[in-house]
A and B are shown apart, each in its own frame.
Chain A
Amino acid sequence: MKHPMCPRAWEVEAARDGRLLGEALAKHERHRQTCPGCQREHQLASRLSEVLAGEPVDEVALRRARASLLERAHGRSSVRSRPTWSSWTLAAAVALLVALGFWLRGRAVSTTLQRPTALDVAPADGARWTRRDTETHHRIDLSEGTLELTVTRSAGRRPVVVQVPDGEIEDLGTRFRVVVHDAKTESIVVNEGSVVFRRPALPDVRLSAGERWDAPRVATASPTAAAVPEAVAPMPAPARRSPPPSSAPTAATPPASGEEDVAYLRVVGLLREGRAEEARLEAREYLRRYPDGFRRREMERIGR
């Protein structure tokens, strides 16, 4: 319904901008209570504020940017010192090296082309992904499938961020694998270096070489099936010096390890629910099935 324009409609804007004060403001507010035209103006202005806010800010990206900001600021502050004769000498030496670099580059372009890339991505399982490089970081968007990433730090200091449907993973090291399935991160396996997994409203998960993270799953083996919590677990195979990316998935995660993890997590889930007796039985079952399992000692303690 179209309302007639009120001659005092300008007051709505003036009130919002703080141009109406005291009695003038009070008069306007009284008038607005009874004037459909001014009410409509007021509603439009309020709606405008809401729409201008746009989509919610990505809290996870902000957390990453915070870490990057502090790193950059630290880098700046640590080099900000009074120049001395030695620093001038160093600067001259650097300038000389740069000049030498340019000269060599002109002579042997092929040599520079052989430098390692900063980021090597090996997709698997029909991975759907894209890559974008910005001024501050390399960004991979992974919506489905598996990616094996190898990062060569010497070739570039920009961090590598893998955007997954439910968060993001920032590479702090050199080699890791990410599996996404059905719009959820299923697992992260770190072979070298470390990564941090950030998700909205959840604490960061930091994984180091030899560790893996698995998404919480629903255990189906027992009738008392319960959602098991997520966990960071050491990988069963020694991973510090594992084979090249193409063969890494099978080497890092033998099929049995997943089942062992589920069995362990089932025990943890029962304990958290206060079902101590069932947890004890499940722990014994774990020991029966995996007598040399990685959580043997813990399971022995619970199973007593």
Chain B
Amino acid sequence: MAVAVIRELRVVPRADDGADADLLSRIAKGDLGALGELYDRHAVAVLRFTRRFAPHEDAEDATQVVFLRAVGAAARFRAGTKARPWLFGIALRVLRERRRSLARWAAALADLGRQPARVVPAPDGLERDVARALASLSEADRACILLAELEGLTGSEIAEILGVPVGTVWRRLHDARRRLKRVFEEKT
């Protein structure tokens, strides 16, 4: 019973783009209630995305930072575009910045002869193998496959987020799928 309830809560309401634009316009005017609504609509999707790039709690922090950045950038949001891809674009920038700062931190610690603990608890079986295969992809390939397969974004939406031609997105998707499918084929 409890499991059923939790699964129900996982269902993400389909975002209404017009309502998102209205929310972002209200956020730009300083209405923080609208920020709560925007969070309710997209936090699950953003967290699901960020946690494929960062350990669990880092992903939670990164998700918060994404929405904080959205507050600052709300005034620049173009009406007529979709909010969710826009948030993923912010998420990618946040993740890159955090990775760079982590790399600097790791280098500083390595100088002291210590390594930072960045161990992500590994799930079992297929999920673990897919997580490994996913982690072995380049950041751009990983972003492509997650945005396409997990979030259902189109090639052109992903291209806009990553700032690359749509053909590049399709090639990256193909490469990523090929590597991930290999894991499935080995398991089945």
Residues in chain A within 8 A of chain B (CB atoms) = 13, 16-19, 44-45, 47-49, 51-57, 59, 61-62, 65-66, 68-70, 72-74, 76-77, 132, 134-136, 139, 200-201
Q: Please, could you name 12 A-B residue pairs with CB atoms under 8 Å apart, sorted by A?
A: A13-B173, A18-B154, A52-B134, A53-B150, A61-B60, A66-B40, A69-B35, A69-B39, A72-B64, A73-B35, A136-B64, A200-B2
Contact A18 B155 (CB under 8 A): yes
Interface string of B1-21 (1 = CB under 8 A from A): 010011101100000000000
Interface size for B (C-beta < 8 A) is 48
Residue from the set A19, A45, A49, A73 with the largest chain B CB neighbour count within 10 Å: A73
In the A-B complex, the 3 residue pairs with the closest CB atoms: A201-B5, A49-B149, A51-B130
B71 within 8 A of A: yes
Residue from the set A52, A70, A134 with the largest chain B CB neighbour count within 10 Å: A52
Residues of the B chain whose Cβ atoms lie less than 8 Å from the Cβ of A16: 148
- From B10, B36, B131, B181, A57 is in contact (CB under 8 Å) with B10
Contact A17 B155 (CB under 8 A): yes
User: B170 — nearest CB in chain A belongs to which residue?
Assistant: A17
Contact A65 B36 (CB under 8 A): no
B175–chain A nearest beta-carbon distance, Å:
11
Kindly list 14 other residue pairs between chains A and B, CB separation below 8 angstroms, not including A51-B126, A69-B39, A76-B71.
A48-B181, A54-B123, A55-B127, A57-B10, A59-B10, A61-B60, A66-B39, A68-B64, A70-B36, A134-B61, A135-B61, A136-B64, A201-B2, A201-B5
- From A13, A69, A70, B177 is in contact (CB under 8 Å) with A13
- From B35, B131, B173, A17 is in contact (CB under 8 Å) with B173
Residues in chain B within 8 A of chain A (CB atoms) = 2, 5-7, 9-10, 30, 32, 35-36, 39-40, 43-44, 47-48, 51-52, 57-58, 60-61, 63-64, 67-68, 71, 123, 126-127, 130-131, 134, 145-146, 148-150, 154-155, 170, 173-174, 177, 180-181, 184-185
Residues of the A chain whose Cβ atoms lie less than 8 Å from the Cβ of B149: 45, 48-49, 52
Residues of the A chain whose Cβ atoms lie less than 8 Å from the Cβ of B9: 59, 200-201
User: B181 — nearest CB in chain A belongs to which residue?
Assistant: A44
Residues of the A chain whose Cβ atoms lie less than 8 Å from the Cβ of B185: 44
Residues of the A chain whose Cβ atoms lie less than 8 Å from the Cβ of B154: 17-18
User: A71 — nearest CB in chain B belongs to which residue?
Assistant: B32
Contact B7 A48 (CB under 8 A): no
Residue from the set A48, A59, A136 with the largest chain B CB neighbour count within 10 Å: A48
Contact B126 A62 (CB under 8 A): no
Contact A56 B10 (CB under 8 A): yes
- From B7, B134, B170, A56 is in contact (CB under 8 Å) with B7
**How far is it, in angstroms, between the C-alpha of A139 and the C-alpha of B131 when the chains are bound?**
25
**How far is it, in angstroms, between the C-alpha of A299 and the C-alpha of B13 when the chains are bound?**
45
Residues of the A chain whose Cβ atoms lie less than 8 Å from the Cβ of B10: 56-57, 59
Contact B44 A62 (CB under 8 A): yes
Residues of the A chain whose Cβ atoms lie less than 8 Å from the Cβ of B39: 66, 69
